[in-house]
């Protein structure tokens, strides 16, 4: 007996951005192989086939997470921990793109996250009788095992809200001071969290001043933030390697060290693990970018 076919899941969400015109927001959507710049949790996105800006272009998107478990024994430096790394990925093919109407459609053609059929359409629309623009994101998908239609729609809505907030934040970034790559240069960094139970997107930010820089190392300090740093100085070094790093001989080693005053609400071990995860993700993104087809 033929298995009964389940109805497709369909959903649509939208968000208005008062500070951006459609022509300012569209390039972020149009840049198909750089969605990781705007979507939360996506660590890597790069072209694997096709020609940029044309139907048939295929991108690879991946999210890598690391979790740590500790046996709880010993002091801060002697605790034994286990690291578990999980990568969720999808290959997505551009089906249609129209820069005049500012819309595109794509489909998931392969993944390890359960999608059998998924087609999404993104549009950047003007706001009638108003300023700014509206981003509209719709999808049609086969039911996904382990998910609900409402759950999938909620995740996509969170991603679109996050993307809009980040676009807006990038547009109004406070200007840095000083000359780029010279001591005294100040950069502004911001991180965005997926909406929590209060329905808001939270922004964590800091201003960081370059203290010293040479050929393969630099040091910087946090001069202002909303995340509780009173004193933070970090040094990053790239050390040439003469060993086999992950199958690549004569690679390099990135060292990241810091000195910090204790932070309220943060344990030392937790902060070390947080920076280790960030460094591993950065190295992975660097490799993905350099080795992409």
The string of pLDDT tens digits covering residues 42-61 is 888 999 999 999 999 999 99
Please give the pLDDT value at position 5.
72
DSSP state of 177: B
Containing 128, the helix (H) or strand (E) segment is none
pLDDT for res 70: 61
CA distances from 239 to 214, 253, 254, 288 (A): 13, 5, 6, 20
Question: What integer pLDDT is reported at residue 140 of this predicted model?
Answer: 97
What is the architecture, at CATH level 2, of domain 9-171? 2-Layer Sandwich (3.30)
Grouped pLDDT means (10 residues each) for the chain, 293 residues: 73 91 91 88 89 95 75 57 80 96 97 94 89 94 92 92 84 62 84 52 78 93 87 92 60 89 84 84 76 55
CATH 3.30.530.20 intervals, the chain: 9-171
Tens-digit pLDDT profile for residues 166-182: 888 776 554 456 777 88
pLDDT of residue 245: 54
* Contact predicate 189/208, CB 8 Å: yes
Q: Residue 55: what pLDDT?
A: 96
């Amino acid at each position: 007996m033929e298995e009964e076919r389940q109805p497709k899941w369909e959903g649509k969400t939208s968000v208005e951005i008062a500070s951006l015109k459609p022509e300012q927001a569209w390039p972020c959507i149009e840049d198909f192989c750089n969605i990781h710049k705007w979507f939360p949790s996506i660590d890597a996105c790069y072209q694997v086939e096709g020609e940029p800006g044309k139907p048939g272009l295929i991108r690879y998107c991946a999210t890598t997470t690391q979790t740590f478990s500790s046996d709880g024994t010993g002091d801060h430096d002697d605790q034994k921990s286990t690291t578990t790394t999980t990568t969720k990925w999808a290959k997505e093919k551009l089906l249609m793109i129209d820069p005049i109407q500012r819309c595109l459609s794509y489909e998931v053609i392969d993944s390890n996250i359960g999608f059998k059929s998924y087609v999404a359409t993104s549009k950047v629309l003007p706001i009638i009788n108003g300023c700014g623009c509206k981003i509209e994101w719709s999808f049609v998908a086969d039911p996904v095992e382990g998910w609900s239609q409402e759950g999938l729609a909620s995740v996509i809505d969170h991603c679109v809200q996050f993307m809009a907030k980040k676009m807006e934040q990038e547009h109004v970034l406070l200007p840095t001071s000083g000359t780029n790559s010279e001591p005294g240069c100040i950069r502004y960094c911001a991180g965005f969290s997926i909406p929590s139970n209060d329905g808001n997107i939270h922004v964590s930010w800091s201003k960081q001043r370059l203290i010293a820089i040479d050929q393969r190392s630099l040091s910087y300090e946090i001069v202002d933030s909303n995340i509780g740093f009173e004193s933070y100085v970090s040094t990053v070094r790239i050390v040439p390697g003469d060993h086999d790093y992950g199958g690549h001989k004569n690679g390099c080693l990135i060292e990241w060290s810091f000195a910090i005053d204790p932070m309220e609400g943060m344990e030392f071990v937790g902060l070390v693990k947080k920076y280790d995860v960030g460094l591993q993700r950065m190295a992975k993104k660097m490799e993905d970018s350099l080795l992409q087809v």
